[in-house]
Every structure is written in structure tokens, then in C-alpha cells.
């Protein structure tokens, strides 16, 4: 594993939120917009991920996520190393544009 990818990790947010009532749909939209504005990319429907630089950044983004949780539904977070994330197999379908265009060693984190 190279020095440039050693500390990078991925936060994966998996959620299932109710969308029956108008207030539930609004809570879903607010949460989804938070994820997009916080730098998460959609991997699949209701599965979002972002790259973080080490455990400190992971904790910071975890706190931001906890502060933005809706009141209902099921939300899970999985933290994996970049090496584990890259080893993920795509069984059906094509990679998203973001997955093709950006690799961890090409990113600059400020």
C-alpha cells in the first residue's frame, strides 16, 4: 500500500427513511441534501460515500452526520479503508462517472 493511500478511508452511509407523509418526505430530502452538500457521492440509491483523511476527519464527519439525523428511519455508517473500498466488486452495471474519474491518489484534500 502506497504512502498516499495509507490514511485515506471511506465513510459509507446506508439509510432507509420513510416517505409516506409530507413531513417524512421533507426529512428525507433535507438529509439527502445534507449528504450531498457535505461531500458525499451517491453510490447506489440510499447508499452514499465520501473519502476522509484519517480517523480525525472520520470522527469530525461522524459528528456532523449525527447532528443532521432525521427522527425516523434506519441509518447506518460503515467506515472502510481505501484499500478495502477499491477491492469492492461491481457485479452488475457500470461504474459511476465519479468512480472512474477520481481515485484516492488523484485527490487533494485541504
Please state, in angstroms and rounded to a whole number, the distance separating the CA atoms of residues 12 and 9. Answer: 10
pLDDT digits (tens, 9 = 90+) for 3-13: 554 589 999 99
Which among 41, 61, 64, 43 has a CA at the least distance from the CA of 52? 61
pTM above 0.95?
no
The enclosing domain of 38 has a CATH number of 3.30.70.240
- Classify the C-alpha dihedral 34-35-36-39 as positive or negative: positive
Q: Which residue has the higher pLDDT, 46 or 86?
A: 46
Quick check: 72 and 14 in contact, CB under 8 A? Answer: no
Q: How many structural domains are present in the chain? A: 1
State the pLDDT at residue 1. Answer: 45
Structural domain contains residue 25: yes
pLDDT digits (tens, 9 = 90+) for 12-51: 999 999 999 999 999 999 999 999 999 999 998 999 999 9
Boundaries of domain holding 20: 8-106
State the pLDDT at residue 102. Answer: 54
Amino acid at each position: 500500500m502506497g504512502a498516499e493511500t495509507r490514511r485515506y478511508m471511506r465513510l459509507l452511509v446506508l439509510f432507509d427513511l420513510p416517505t409516506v407523509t409530507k413531513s417524512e418526505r421533507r426529512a428525507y430530502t433535507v438529509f439527502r441534501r445534507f449528504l450531498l452538500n457535505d461531500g458525499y457521492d451517491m453510490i447506489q440509491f440510499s447508499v452514499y460515500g465520501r473519502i476522509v483523511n484519517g480517523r480525525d476527519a472520520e470522527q469530525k464527519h461522524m459528528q456532523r452526520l449525527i447532528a443532521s439525523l432525521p427522527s425516523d428511519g434506519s441509518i447506518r455508517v460503515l467506515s472502510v479503508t481505501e484499500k478495502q473500498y477499491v477491492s469492492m466488486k461491481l457485479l452488475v452495471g457500470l461504474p459511476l462517472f465519479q468512480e472512474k474519474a477520481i481515485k484516492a491518489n488523484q485527490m487533494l484534500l485541504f
